[in-house]
Amino acid sequence: IRDQGFAKGDPLAVAELAGVQAAKRTWELIPLAHPLALTHIEVTCTLNLTKRRVDITASARCRGETGVEMEALTAAAAAALTLIDMCKAADRAMTVTDLHIVEKSGGRSGTYRRPAR
Protein backbone atom coordinates (compact mmCIF):
# COMPACT_ATOMS: atom_id res chain seq x y z
CA ILE A 1 0.00 0.00 0.00
CA ARG A 2 2.82 2.38 0.91
CA ASP A 3 4.47 2.00 -2.49
CA GLN A 4 1.14 2.28 -4.36
CA GLY A 5 1.88 -0.62 -6.67
CA PHE A 6 -1.75 -1.57 -7.36
CA ALA A 7 -3.27 -1.65 -10.84
CA LYS A 8 -6.62 -0.32 -9.58
CA GLY A 9 -5.03 2.80 -8.06
CA ASP A 10 -4.35 4.02 -4.53
CA PRO A 11 -6.18 1.62 -2.19
CA LEU A 12 -6.48 4.18 0.61
CA ALA A 13 -8.07 6.83 -1.62
CA VAL A 14 -10.43 4.32 -3.24
CA ALA A 15 -11.42 2.95 0.18
CA GLU A 16 -12.21 6.45 1.45
CA LEU A 17 -14.41 7.09 -1.58
CA ALA A 18 -16.15 3.73 -1.13
CA GLY A 19 -16.87 4.61 2.49
CA VAL A 20 -18.50 7.90 1.54
CA GLN A 21 -20.63 6.18 -1.10
CA ALA A 22 -21.68 3.45 1.33
CA ALA A 23 -22.70 5.94 4.02
CA LYS A 24 -25.12 7.54 1.57
CA ARG A 25 -26.72 4.14 0.89
CA THR A 26 -26.90 2.80 4.44
CA TRP A 27 -30.69 2.81 4.34
CA GLU A 28 -30.56 0.27 1.50
CA LEU A 29 -28.28 -2.08 3.43
CA ILE A 30 -29.63 -2.00 7.00
CA PRO A 31 -33.18 -3.34 7.52
CA LEU A 32 -35.61 -0.75 8.92
CA ALA A 33 -33.16 2.11 8.37
CA HIS A 34 -34.43 5.14 6.50
CA PRO A 35 -32.75 7.62 4.14
CA LEU A 36 -31.08 10.56 5.88
CA ALA A 37 -30.02 13.93 4.55
CA LEU A 38 -26.37 13.73 5.52
CA THR A 39 -24.67 17.11 5.80
CA HIS A 40 -21.19 15.66 6.31
CA ILE A 41 -19.44 12.35 5.82
CA GLU A 42 -15.70 11.91 6.08
CA VAL A 43 -13.68 8.71 5.86
CA THR A 44 -9.96 8.64 6.59
CA CYS A 45 -7.70 5.64 5.98
CA THR A 46 -4.27 5.95 7.59
CA LEU A 47 -1.44 3.53 6.98
CA ASN A 48 0.08 2.50 10.33
CA LEU A 49 3.44 0.97 9.38
CA THR A 50 4.44 0.28 12.99
CA LYS A 51 1.41 -1.93 13.63
CA ARG A 52 1.18 -3.15 10.02
CA ARG A 53 -2.42 -2.07 9.62
CA VAL A 54 -4.69 0.57 8.18
CA ASP A 55 -6.66 2.65 10.69
CA ILE A 56 -10.04 3.76 9.36
CA THR A 57 -12.15 6.50 10.89
CA ALA A 58 -15.51 7.74 9.68
CA SER A 59 -17.64 10.61 10.85
CA ALA A 60 -21.12 11.65 9.79
CA ARG A 61 -23.53 14.49 10.54
CA CYS A 62 -27.06 15.35 9.59
CA ARG A 63 -29.70 17.86 10.50
CA GLY A 64 -32.56 16.44 12.46
CA GLU A 65 -33.13 14.39 15.55
CA THR A 66 -31.85 11.05 14.40
CA GLY A 67 -28.47 9.45 14.91
CA VAL A 68 -26.05 8.77 12.10
CA GLU A 69 -23.92 6.14 13.81
CA MET A 70 -25.04 3.42 11.39
CA GLU A 71 -23.97 5.60 8.47
CA ALA A 72 -20.52 6.11 10.01
CA LEU A 73 -20.16 2.39 10.81
CA THR A 74 -21.27 1.45 7.30
CA ALA A 75 -18.72 3.88 5.85
CA ALA A 76 -15.89 2.37 7.90
CA ALA A 77 -16.93 -1.20 7.08
CA ALA A 78 -17.17 -0.49 3.34
CA ALA A 79 -13.76 1.18 3.39
CA ALA A 80 -12.27 -1.89 5.09
CA LEU A 81 -13.91 -4.28 2.63
CA THR A 82 -12.65 -2.19 -0.28
CA LEU A 83 -9.10 -2.38 1.06
CA ILE A 84 -9.37 -6.16 1.28
CA ASP A 85 -10.74 -6.33 -2.26
CA MET A 86 -7.98 -4.15 -3.68
CA CYS A 87 -5.12 -5.73 -1.73
CA LYS A 88 -6.11 -9.40 -1.57
CA ALA A 89 -3.54 -10.35 -4.21
CA ALA A 90 -0.78 -8.99 -1.96
CA ASP A 91 -2.08 -10.49 1.31
CA ARG A 92 -4.93 -12.98 1.59
CA ALA A 93 -4.70 -13.05 5.39
CA MET A 94 -5.99 -9.51 5.91
CA THR A 95 -8.50 -9.17 8.74
CA VAL A 96 -11.10 -6.55 9.65
CA THR A 97 -11.21 -5.92 13.41
CA ASP A 98 -12.55 -3.50 16.00
CA LEU A 99 -15.47 -1.83 14.23
CA HIS A 100 -17.00 0.37 16.93
CA ILE A 101 -18.49 3.75 17.79
CA VAL A 102 -15.94 6.06 19.39
CA GLU A 103 -18.21 9.04 20.00
CA LYS A 104 -21.80 10.02 19.28
CA SER A 105 -23.75 13.17 20.04
CA GLY A 106 -27.28 14.26 19.30
CA GLY A 107 -30.28 12.11 18.57
CA ARG A 108 -32.64 10.83 21.24
CA SER A 109 -29.97 9.01 23.23
CA GLY A 110 -27.70 12.02 23.67
CA THR A 111 -23.92 11.89 23.96
CA TYR A 112 -21.84 8.71 24.11
CA ARG A 113 -18.08 8.30 24.39
CA ARG A 114 -16.52 4.87 24.25
CA PRO A 115 -14.53 4.15 27.41
CA ALA A 116 -10.76 3.89 26.91
CA ARG A 117 -9.46 0.34 26.63
Query: What stretches of 7-61 show up as alpha helix (H) in DSSP?
Result: 11-24, 26-29
Query: Is 85 marked active-site?
Result: yes
Give the contacts of 81 (CB within 8 A, at least 6 positions apart).
18, 96
Q: Are 43 and 79 in contact (CB under 8 A)?
A: yes
CA distance 94 to 91: 6
| Residue of 3, 55, 85, 98 marked catalytic | 85
Q: Which residues are catalytic?
A: 85
